[in-house]
Chain A
Amino acid sequence: MMLRLDDVTKEFRIGAFGGKTVAAVRSVSFDVVPGEVVSLIGESGSGKSTIGRMILGLNSVTSGAITFDGRPVRGAKEYYRHVQGIFQDPFSSFNPVFKADRVFAMIKQSYYPAVPEQEWAERVRSALRDVRLNPDQVLGKYPHQLSGGQLQRLLIARALLLDIKLLVADEITSMLDASTRIDVLNLLAELKTRGLGVLYITHDLSLGNYLAERTVVLRKGGVVEMGLTDKVFGDPLHPYTRELLSAVPRLHEEWGDAAAVDTCLYHERGAAEGLLEAEPGHFVACAQLESC
């Protein structure tokens, strides 16, 4: 077990004097193991990015625990040697007045000061080739001279230079074109063969379906359904998951309406707290029907 979230809740204070609180994430538990991609799927306001930010130590946890290799998450230097995040907008991830490859020099400065320049340059070039970038085309360029896909891949290369174990990818392809987006996705799929764990945060179900072994569906901060991607997408149990799936436009099928859920499996099976394990590895929350 590499990354584990245990009953994690995050509340934000709102209002003029922080008098009110709003729960962005409510009792979320799941884990990510080495060599797998877990996709975190939700619409705007579902708390998916907040979860990513908490894992990266950018937001504190209100209650519950996030542990990485058994130790609680701290936003410390050693932690970031193993855990890195990549975000949606590649153009705002880079300092526009520095050349893009300066991010590599900064990694060397803070993590590998003892590595000789020559060897470091070779490592950088090999990491760039790993992400299918031609080093000669990207080194020495400013961010505005590179495409969004190239910038996102530079960030993946940067993570690979570290002793990376977990990558949090928050909507990293949503600003890319269809023809280049798939290359970045394939790259993430390749990372797992190196034993990396990837948390892929997205609103796009088709991308999650393509990439992930396991899927967590969020709604308003809580998990509604999670489990193996094949099961969650192949046999969705929660009405919300069905609704989401039916709303995705498909190329070879007409837009249908979601099949209704007649009985709440959760209450029918007598579950009282947490999620119901409907079948091995497939968890579902209460359907919130009127009869519940």
Chain B
Amino acid sequence: MSLRVSELRVYYRTLKGEVRALDGMSFDLADGEIIGLVGESGCGKSTLGKSLIRMDGRMHHVGGSVELDGKELPIADDRRMNDFRFKEVSLIPQYAMSALNPTRKIRKMVGELLKSRGAALDAAELERRMDQVGLPREVLDRYPIELSGGMKQRMVMVISTLLDPSLLIADEVTSALDVSTQKAVARALLGFRDSGYVKSMIFVTHDLALTHHIADTIMVMYAGKLAEKAPAHVIVKAPRHPYTKLLLDSLPEVGVRYSERRLEGIAGSPPSLLHPPAGCRFRDRCPLAGDECAEEPPAVEIAPAHHVACWKA
């Protein structure tokens, strides 16, 4: 088992009180597995990604534990986490454009970064990995401003994985890219896993269709909790949680003729996480909601590797 997250709770401190962005998440991630983490804005998916590598000042760890390759990650301790960052856990941030130091040429920046981690730059290895994502060698002697968005994104991918981390968190890495670049970046990510540069990956996104092409397992979050987790094709073909079903039904696709046929959205909006309601958090928007939903549904394994948190599943 590569990563084991149990009952993780991370809240944000605000003037009005605590926002329960991540409220009891548990899941396992195996070696070589890519988990696609999907959900709408504010569901806690980015909070989960951030918690595993660096919590910002407003976040605090309320409960639960994270274990990576048998060792507990000290996620609440910013200083101790430093030993894990980049080597064991690494991140590809959403805005690669602003992740690179604008005053350094790429080669120098990579060298400095590795030095700060006590590692030496293996130029041949770096170039091999750049070839793999289709970046020309000249990129190393350029400033970030001279690269396009897709090139910067791929450069950051190469840099983030240089020390072969066990876990890679890819946070919305393709959402600022054009469709054709998105495909190249997504395939490069798969290549990294297949070449063993990273053992396992959490691919955070809001795009279900894209996740389906990358992830082995898809995990759907709603309002700080796990709604459903299953192999990617099961989520797409046979979802059991009403939220997953409605979400899939609201996605327009190319290759389908709609003419006058209309899809439907999900009425209402997610609950405030400042004072989340008791019971199932999807209850107010759920067409199947009944009396038992006043009690919180546990995540149950209804079929092998298929977990659903719903009384009606």
Contacts and interface: CB of A to CB of B under 8 A. Distances in A.
A182 B264 contact: yes
B213 interface: yes
Given A179-B247, A180-B269, A250-B209, A43 B180 contact: yes
B208 A206 contact: no
A180 B265 contact: yes
A251 B248 CA distance: 9
Interface string B177-213: 0111011001000000000000000000011111011
Interface in A179-212: 179-183, 185-186, 189, 203, 205-207, 209-211
A247 B183 contact: yes
A249 B213 contact: yes
Nearest to B39: A177
Given A230-B257, A249-B209, A253-B255, A182 B179 contact: no
Nearest to B235: A251
B278 interface: no
B253 A179 contact: no
Nearest to B182: A247
Contact of A248 (B179, B212, B263, B265): B179
A178 B247 contact: yes
Contacts of B257: 230, 234
A252 interface: yes
A178 to B, nearest CB: 6
Contacts of B180: 43, 243-244, 247
Nearest to B38: A178
Given A182-B263, A252-B236, A209 B252 contact: yes
Nearest to A255: B213
B252 A203 contact: no
A189 B262 contact: yes
B40 A178 contact: yes
Contacts of B206: 177-178
Interface in A160-190: 177-183, 185-186, 189
Nearest to A177: B40
A205 B209 contact: no
A249 B213 CA distance: 7
B256 interface: yes
Contacts, number: 98
Interface residues of A, number: 35
Contacts of B213: 249, 254-255
B41 A177 contact: yes
Most buried by A among B210, B251, B262: B251
Contacts of A263: none
Given A185-B252, A206-B251, A247-B183, A179 B265 contact: yes
Given A182-B264, A210-B263, A249 B207 contact: yes
B29 interface: no
A44 B178 contact: yes
Q: Quick one: which of B212, B247, B254, B264 has the most chain A CB within 10 A?
A: B254
A1 B283 CA distance: 49
Contacts of A253: 255
Interface in B256-306: 256-258, 262-266, 269
Interface in A42-82: 43-44
Nearest to A213: B259
B246 interface: yes
Interface in A216-266: 230, 233-234, 243-245, 247-255
A147 interface: yes
Nearest to A209: B254
A248 B250 CA distance: 17
B106 to A, nearest CB: 22
A233 B254 contact: yes
Interface centre among B236, B247, B269 (most CB of A within 10 A): B269
Interface in B112-143: none
A43 B179 contact: yes
Contacts of A207: 252
Contacts of A43: 178-180
B253 A250 contact: yes
A245 B208 contact: no
Contacts of A250: 209, 253-255
A142 to B, nearest CB: 16
A251 B179 contact: no
B239 to A, nearest CB: 11
Contacts of A181: 250, 265
Which of B149, B236, B256 has most A Cβ within 10 Å?
B256
Given A178-B206, A245-B255, 18 more contacts: A43-B178, A178-B40, A179-B265, A180-B266, A182-B250, A182-B264, A183-B265, A185-B252, A186-B265, A203-B178, A206-B251, A206-B252, A210-B252, A247-B182, A249-B182, A249-B207, A251-B236, A252-B236
6 contacts: A44-B178, A178-B251, A179-B246, A182-B264, A248-B209, A249-B182
Interface of B: 40-41, 149, 178-180, 182-183, 186, 206-210, 212-213, 236, 246-248, 250-258, 262-266, 269
Interface of A: 43-44, 147, 177-183, 185-186, 189, 203, 205-207, 209-211, 230, 233-234, 243-245, 247-255
The 7 closest A-B pairs by CB, nearest first: A210-B252, A179-B266, A43-B178, A177-B40, A183-B265, A182-B265, A249-B209
